[in-house]
Amino acid sequence: MNTDALLTRLREALPAERVVTDEAERVAYSYDNSRLQALPDVVVHAAGHDDVVHVATCCHALGVPLVARGRGTNTTGASVPVAGGVALSLEGMQRIIDYRPADRLLVCEAGTLNGTVQSTAGADDLFWAPDPTSGGYSTVGGNIACGAGGPRAVKYGTARDAVLGLRAVDGSGRTLVTGCRTTKGVVGYDLTRLLVGSEGTLAIVTEATLKLLPRPALRRTMRAAYRDVESAAAAVARIMGQPATPCALEFMDDRAVALARAHAALDLPEATGALLLLAADGFEAGIDHDIAAIRAAAEGDGLLDWQAAADEHAADDIWAARKALSPALRGLAPKKVNEDVAVPVSRLAELVAGLRELSARHGLMIVNFGHAGNGNIHVNILADPDDAAQMRAIDACLAEVFALVLALGGTLSGEHGVGVAKRAFVAQEIDAGTLERMQAIKRLFDPAGILNPGKTLPDPVRA
């Protein structure tokens, strides 16, 4: 890469202090929450859409890799500059451009925090559906790039369901404007949903028109303890098979329950082998009916205890089990592989049983929890880096996890994305003909192949 030529071009339209070459500062943009790391050659801080156009135009002309990023909360390496080049930070682009409560929409720049959107909309009893764990500090652009979801996706959908339109810059520096500012619109191809979840490989989102929803007046939290994972999984299928949809339905297997118990004082029956954490929201006239319907579906063989939170403090106590998991896992094993697979809800019991068999056969602890209402389970494979046998077993076990998921009609990622971590397995889920068309779309949006290279899609098969 001709760094001097790149810097000269970048500085034609950007202040020198926003084009960074100091290694100590570049290190901060070399990794994300995946723990993967690769140092960019240059970091550029964009202040607006025109800056992104200029950077993309320069990189296209010189064939320089370009990776856009927000706060680096991604867990699959999607924002790591594995090919070097330019790391383009959108953190400074935080303007709310338009906010129309009557139209239930908000237009903001890509660097705006999810939490800022929620607080702005919340003042008018509205909200934006995506609520990832990192919602307080992850950016709207990052949420869109990875197709973020979260617990309430079971009722309100993911980022693909929550974006009306986008302004973006493709790999040659051209501006795209997609979608519209109405909740109905069928003119042209749906490029908005194409870009959501594309991890910055087709275009860099600079502005987004977000679809807001009315915030329910009431929310109730519940907990159901089961004898084993099979009875809990069967209950999930019953709950999701009736009309009253919970706004959260989280699952914890026996190992997750044991870990949570070791890190928090949980009032659970001793025989608890699996746990469901549930929430229902709505309005005074209907929420009691919904809760009764959900509880009726939760009843069945294996239910040991049902508890409804009497107030917010009690609700916090119920969710304490889920919140205790991450620190518990970090302390249990230095090496953790976290996959966010998803299967049809009706196949959840088969997934959990299969994961248990893989755990025993490979000699690895696997802890499962996640968004059961979507069939989206976080599979945590734990190993000791000092145990050579365990480290050798990880790759084989992971390959079998993915094979199991696909055999059950599932998908390799429910919300975290593909990035680097799952790229090698994508061809197992998507057939060759479909992949060929996706790669053709990639070439149309990014003819020089500079946008986030080495991510999302496998390399085209050479004839």
Instruction: State how far the Cα of 143 lies from the Cα of 150, in Å rounded to an integer.
Output: 11
Residue after which a domain boundary falls, among 305, 324, 343: 324
The encoded tokens of residue 4 equal 């001097």
In a domain, 360, yes or no: yes
Q: Flag whether 426 is in a domain.
A: no
State the burial class of residue 431 (Cβ atoms within 10 Å of its Cβ: 0-12, 13-18, 19+): exposed
Q: What stretch of H or E contains 92? A: none
Closest CA to 218 of 293, 299, 312, 305: 312
CA neighbor of 255 nearest in space, from 355, 173, 167: 355
One domain, residues 142 and 26: yes
Name 45's bridge partners. 89
Closest CA to 387 of 370, 362, 408: 362
What does the alpha-carbon distance between residue 32 and residue 79 come to, in Å, rounded to a whole number?
Answer: 6
* Claim to verify: residue 362 and residue 272 sit in the same structural domain: no
Is 412 within the bounds of a domain? no
For residue 200, how many other CB atoms are within 10 A of its CB? 28
**Tally of structural domains, the chain:** 3
Residue 217: count other Cβ atoms within 10 Å of its Cβ. Answer: 11
The neighbouring-strand residues paired with 346 are: none
Q: Which stretches in the chain have pLDDT values below 70?
A: 327, 330, 461-463
410 and 351 Cβ atoms separated by less than 8 Å? yes
Q: Are residues 42 and 161 both part of a single domain?
A: yes
pLDDT of 325 reads 81
Tell me, yes or no, whether 43 and 144 share the same domain: yes
The Cα 248–Cα 391 span in angstroms is: 35
pLDDT at residue number 89: 98
- Same domain for 316 and 364, yes or no, is no
Claim to verify: residue 310 and residue 370 sit in the same structural domain: no
Gap between the Cα atoms of 103 and 83, Å rounded: 42
Q: What is the CATH number of the domain that holds 387?
A: 3.30.70.2740
Structure tokens at 227: 């004898």
Same domain, 259 and 360: no
Please tell me the predicted confidence (pLDDT) of residue 337. Answer: 87
- Rounded Cα distance between 378 and 363, Å, is 19
Q: What are the CA-CA distances from residue 113 to residues 30, 89, 95, 314 (Å)?
A: 21, 14, 10, 29
Among 24, 139, 131, residue whose Cα is nearest residue 73: 139
Rounded to 10°, the helix 312-323/254-263 angle is 110
Predicted pLDDT at 317: 83
Residue 182 vs residues 11, 105, 162, 210, 410: alpha-carbon distances, Å: 39, 9, 12, 10, 32
Which pLDDT value is given to residue 386?
A: 85
Q: Looking at the structure, do residues 274 and 351 belong to the same domain, yes or no?
A: no
**Closest of 80, 35, 42 to residue 59, by C-alpha:** 42
* Co-location of 318 and 360 in the same domain: no
Residues 53 and 183 in one domain: yes
Give the CA distances from residue 39 to residues 69, 131, 141, 363, in Å, rounded to whole numbers and listed in that order.
14, 30, 22, 35
Phi, psi for residue 374 in degrees, rounded to 5: -100, 0
Could you give the 3-state DSSP secondary structure of residue 267? coil
Query: Where in the sequence is the domain holding 248, given as residue range(s)?
Result: 218-324
The residue out of 324, 358, 384 marking a domain boundary is 324
Co-location of 363 and 222 in the same domain: no
Q: Which helix (H) or strand (E) holds 381?
A: strand 376-383
| 2 and 129 within one domain | yes
